[in-house]
Structure 1
Amino acid sequence: MKKILIVVLAIGLASCSGDDNKAAATTTPPAQTDVLTAQNVRSYLADPNATAETVALFYNLHNTQKSKFLIGQQDAFNAFYQDAVGNSDIKKATGSDPALLGSDFMFITDNQNDGTAQNWFYQQEVIITNHVKEAYNKGMVNTFSWHLREPYRGISFYTSDMTAQEKANAFASILPGGENHEYFKQKLDKVASVLNNLKGADGKLIPVIFRPFHEFDGNWFWWGAAYCTPDQYKQAWQFLVTYLRDTKGVHNVLYAYSPDNSYTTSAKYLERYPGDAYVDVLGMDNYGDFSNGSTQGVTNAGNKMKMVSALAQERVKICAMTETGYRVTATTAPLTGFFSTNMYNALTANDSKVAYVMFWYNDATGYYVPPSGQSNTQDFKDFASKSKSVLQHNIPAMYTITQ
């Protein structure tokens, strides 16, 4: 599990049932050619009415994963090791920005964001959205996670900060008919407002990959498996998608499903899966398998990515390592070969097809990706220069479909 260092749904259209998911997961599909084409791509999206640029992003990520993966970092433009502002730390190390920028709706939807210029949370909203625009204008891909505050006091997303009663009731309370359903809708209204006004220099809506309710197999977030049933999780997810897409008219989003690394079988991975009609990206967050640098850990990570990749190919989705890393500090030394050997092998073993990998953010006292001058900078540079690696300087056009 990562460590966050900042203090801090009426069911839609019919979904896949748990039994259907299990059956699909336990049947090995026959080898087949890629069925995705420029003509049928919309039929595989959670939003068939997505903008042309969002459709192109799905299509191009799906094709990119056949041979390459994008390298990204959370908050790359505003979180730096030792607060060394300026270029992204990845650019400091390699000469190129990442191909993927990670952002968060956390501050944007905070109860204290009153939308005024002098408000600190609104100021963060402006910074975040400006960086999303900068990334898009550079041809990069944007993703958003959402560390949504619990709905009772709106203070934290960690269960360790909640009472037993809050933990037991928070998730169910945001479902249709629940006491905090309107709270949840208000937060989604804010997300929709941001997304519907997020435009690049070309005047077009910026496509984003939205990754809500992540690491749901753990118990550290209030949407974790200990605090909601599989059916409740699916209902919340389906409501989120249908509300944004059909009620709020948000059509520039790909939706990413991303548990932590506990699942080793496709049946368990799909236990809370809301259905193909509500998901575009199949991902996995994984810190734990890389935490001690062991060969077995890397093998485990590779096997899990193989599982996710196979499911993505079967369902015509995008596969991703949605969050990962190893934090280096003054008292925690780098792991030898973490990037160029361990991470690269896990992403490419078993002929897995992975569209992108997202490393967590750097801050004043530690880093997940080394800037220049660190003992493992060369290791990252070796990783970034591999034949399958993509940074901003060599990212293909992601927002148009070329035949």
Structure 2
Amino acid sequence: MTIKSVTACSLMLISLFSCKAQTPVKNQLVDSEATLETQNLYKNLFQLRSKGFLFGHQDALAYGVNWKYEEGRSDVKDVTGDYPALYGWDLGGTEDKAVNDIDGVPFDKMKKWMREIYDRGGVNTLSWHMKNPYTGKSAWDTTPHSFTSILPGGSHHKLYCEWLDNAVTFFKSLKGSDGKAIPILYRPFHELTGNWFWWCQNNCTPEEYITLWRFTVDYFKKNNIHNLIYVYNTSMVKTREAYLRYYPGDDYVDVLSFDNYLYNNPVKDNSYVEDNLNLIQIMNAIGNEQHKLIALAETGYETIPYNRYWTKTVVNSLGNNPVSFVLVWRNHGWQEQEKKMHYYAPFKGHPNEKDFVDFYNLPQTLFQNEITQLKLYNP
């Protein structure tokens, strides 16, 4: 029996007993009509906070370094023998009812993989690199007035509602083998405190952002979408005030999160660790007050050139805080346009894969095998 197997068995037993012993946590979802499976996932994520965090990877089943669309494959699995616990996907492309998402993944395949993930007890999360509704260009087009154009009464509000209808259709198509709606950690308008997307803070006021967020949540609920857990997401900020400036309100947010990537050699520059710890502690304080989960929703160190990135940099950047999940970005591989490799999880043969295996074997890192046994969609 492997270290991870022993840990998984112990974790399952601890969880089963602790659920009975602990005082119930106030963990009401934004959607009071959320499906039972969605409610169970949310409550169980609260229970898991003292045990560890779900490790996630974007597009984990779709492709990896030097492979694409191979059944049952994942770079993470190639290295550890286990899948991630959390799997990231993107809705970019649903605006035009496209066949493929923004990264070329066929939506039909995506839905198949999301069903497989749910069936084996894994967790799915969705972002949406929505193209600019005002100009028709990419999500990175920050033309002024793009955001205000889709607010109620705006020139492109009707178009935005049509795009939401496409998302409604997609969400309703997500069914497990049991016929039930697949719960989704949904992270709209992500990295809002940056300046690179049309929905970022440089293109809207807090009041406008809050209005659109609330309209969007209400629109999905009105259209009988009850399998979403809503994730508020900033880029790196340094203060509580900056983090909450665009916050839509406790009645509209289930999870507090942020995105932050490592760019500098962590041996020479410890700012990534220090910044992450600072913001995570800020979120944890807010989360404790408002009974919200916290997460590092997107991160990574491109090509992972440091041999202690996982066991030292990542672990130290989280500290002992109750982070629910950490997701690293996709393993695209060679980028012809930029003439460089682009990946954030190791693959078989990577020079620093041993550190990732050591990371995998830590008790606080939760991968597929552990959470399958924990049955996160059950009471």
User: What's the TM-score, normalizing by structure 2?
Assistant: 0.87
The residue aligned with 2:346 is: 370
The residue aligned with 1:116 is: none
The residue aligned with 2:308 is: 337
Aligned counterparts of 1:35 and 1:274: Cα–Cα separation in 2: 28
The residue aligned with 1:253 is: 228
More strand by share: 2
1:167-211 Cα shifts (integer Å, max 9, x gaps): 211100110000110111111111111112211011111000110
1:70 aligns with 2:54: yes
1:131 aligns with 2:140: no
Unmatched 5+ residue regions in structure 2? Answer: 1-21, 335-341
Aligned counterparts of 1:175 and 1:219: Cα–Cα separation in 2: 19
1:266-323 Cα shifts (integer Å, max 9, x gaps): 12100000001111010010114x6431234312211211111221121111111000
Contact 1:310 1:352 (C-alpha < 8 Å) held by counterparts: no
- Which residue of the other structure, out of 243, 260, 265, is the alignment partner of 1:292? 265
1:80-138 Cα shifts (integer Å, max 9, x gaps): 1122653111000100010001011002x13262xxxxx55698111111111111111
The residue aligned with 1:54 is: 38
Unmatched 5+ residue regions in structure 1? Answer: 1-33, 114-118
The residue aligned with 2:280 is: 305
Higher mean displacement: 269-278 or 80-89 = 80-89
Give, as a single letter, the amino acid of the residue that structure 2 aligns with 1:257: Y
Give, as a single letter, the amino acid of the residue that structure 2 aligns with 1:292: N
- Which residue of the other structure, out of 81, 96, 103, is the alignment partner of 2:89? 103
The residue aligned with 1:275 is: 249
3-state DSSP of counterpart to 1:176:
coil
Contact 1:92 1:372 (C-alpha < 8 Å) held by counterparts: yes
Aligned counterparts of 1:76 and 1:120: Cα–Cα separation in 2: 16
What is the number of residues matched between the two proteins? Answer: 343
The residue aligned with 2:295 is: 320
3-state DSSP of counterpart to 1:277:
helix
User: What's the TM-score, normalizing by structure 1?
Assistant: 0.82
Superposed, which structure 2 residues align to 1:4-403 within 5 Å? 36-37=24-25, 41=27, 44-83=28-67, 86=70, 87-107=73-93, 109-111=94-96, 113=98, 119=99, 124-159=106-141, 167-245=143-221, 247-261=222-236, 263-288=237-262, 291-293=264-266, 294-328=269-303, 334-347=305-318, 349=319, 351-365=320-334, 366-395=342-371, 396-401=374-379
Aligned counterparts of 1:120 and 1:339: Cα–Cα separation in 2: 32
1:343-401 Cα shifts (integer Å, max 9, x gaps): 01112x1x311000000000122320001111111111111111100000111211012
Higher mean displacement: 73-82 or 94-103 = 73-82
3-state DSSP of counterpart to 1:285:
strand
Contact 2:79 2:353 (C-alpha < 8 Å) held by counterparts: yes
1:6-40 Cα shifts (integer Å, max 9, x gaps): xxxxxxxxxxxxxxxxxxxxxxxxxxxx8744xx6
Contact 2:272 2:317 (C-alpha < 8 Å) held by counterparts: no
Contact 1:65 1:319 (C-alpha < 8 Å) held by counterparts: no
Give, as a single letter, the amino acid of the residue that structure 1 aligns with 2:349: G
Aligned counterparts of 2:260 and 2:207: Cα–Cα separation in 1: 24
1:26-84 Cα shifts (integer Å, max 9, x gaps): xxxxxxxx8744xx64xx21001100000001101111112210000010011211226
Distance 1:319 1:35, change over 3 A: farther
Distance 1:123 1:344, change over 3 A: closer
